[in-house]
Amino acid sequence: MSDPFQDNPDLVACAALVEKADADRFQAAMAAPVAARAVLFPIYAFNIEVARAPWASKEELIAKMRLQWWVDALDEIEAGGIVRRHEVVTPLAMILQGKDMSRLKGAVTAREKDLERAPFEDWDALHTHVDQTAGALTLEAAAALGAPPDMFDRIAVWARAAGFARYLQAVPELVARGKLPLPDGRPEALGDQARKVLTTLKGAGSLRGLHRGLGPAGAAVMECWQAKALLQGVAKDPNSVADGRVQLSEFSKRLRLLIL
């Protein structure tokens, strides 16, 4: 089988961007088959570019223009015609040309919430934001890799758990940027939310079972491999969120990914 990264500088650039800005997803993608990486890296690189847009300028109008640029690019991909030349847009179009882009467009518009200093009004609003951003990313990757629609609900549960864990990891940085990221930052509230999300995982089955049951599309859920352990840590020690200690050791991360 030919290597899709050979003589494709855009794919290589996407992989390099993910390696630099999203080490955990990079690690998960590198554990997937090469063919799956050619799908995952453009989608993950897209996420990085869009997540950065709200922080690219202190001027709200400029930040919104950057987000609109991505909506326009997705419109071009969906139309199936000529697509603007860009090291992320071009390979993204190669895997999603002519497909419905509503999921990814929703992820872009959801990022406008990052322009606001105010916290989410409640936990449901925060979880919806996670679904629209991190969740949309996982579902788009799964769909692009051929996951059957009847598996999307289980994928979405794990995607929410992984996205919520990542959001909690980002809390100290968001606070440093002047944002109020949580509707309720009390340790008891954080522990309660972690336990609630963990409860939903019981109904979705094990990640290992989901990964293997999806066949080639299982590569899309590999990026959820730390979610359960991270949320268990928050449930046990909710002060870890404010302290920036929501993390696993490198040994634990590698072992968990290896046995997935």
- Predicted pLDDT at 58: 83
Residue 44 tokens, joined: 């993950």
- Predicted pLDDT at 1: 59
Taking the CB of residue 110, how many other CB atoms lie within 10 A of it?
A: 19
- Predicted pLDDT at 7: 87
- Predicted pLDDT at 162: 98
Clarify whether residues 132 and 237 are in a common domain.
Answer: yes
- The Cα–Cα gap between 68 and 76 comes to 12
pLDDT band at 176 (very low <50, low <70, confident <90, very high): very high
Clarify whether residues 132 and 104 are in a common domain.
Answer: no
Query: Domain tally for the chain?
Result: 2
What does pTM read for this prediction? 0.96
- Over residues 3-57, the pLDDT tens digits come to 899 889 999 999 999 999 999 999 999 999 999 999 999 999 999 999 999 998 8
Clarify whether residues 122 and 105 are in a common domain.
Answer: no
Clarify whether residues 103 and 141 are in a common domain.
Answer: no
- In the block, tokens 């202190």 appear at 58
pLDDT above 80: residue 104: yes
Last residue of a domain, one of 86, 114, 142: 114
Q: Could you list the residue range(s) of the whole structural domain that residue 201 is in?
A: 116-260
Clarify whether residues 75 and 188 are in a common domain.
Answer: no
Clarify whether residues 57 and 146 are in a common domain.
Answer: no
Average pLDDT over residues 166-189: 96
- Over residues 118-165, the pLDDT tens digits come to 999 999 999 999 999 999 999 999 999 999 999 999 999 999 999 999
Clarify whether residues 186 and 237 are in a common domain.
Answer: yes
Supply the angle between the helices 152-176 and 136-144 in degrees, to the nearest 10: 140
- Predicted pLDDT at 146: 97
- The Cα–Cα gap between 148 and 100 comes to 16
Clarify whether residues 43 and 155 are in a common domain.
Answer: no
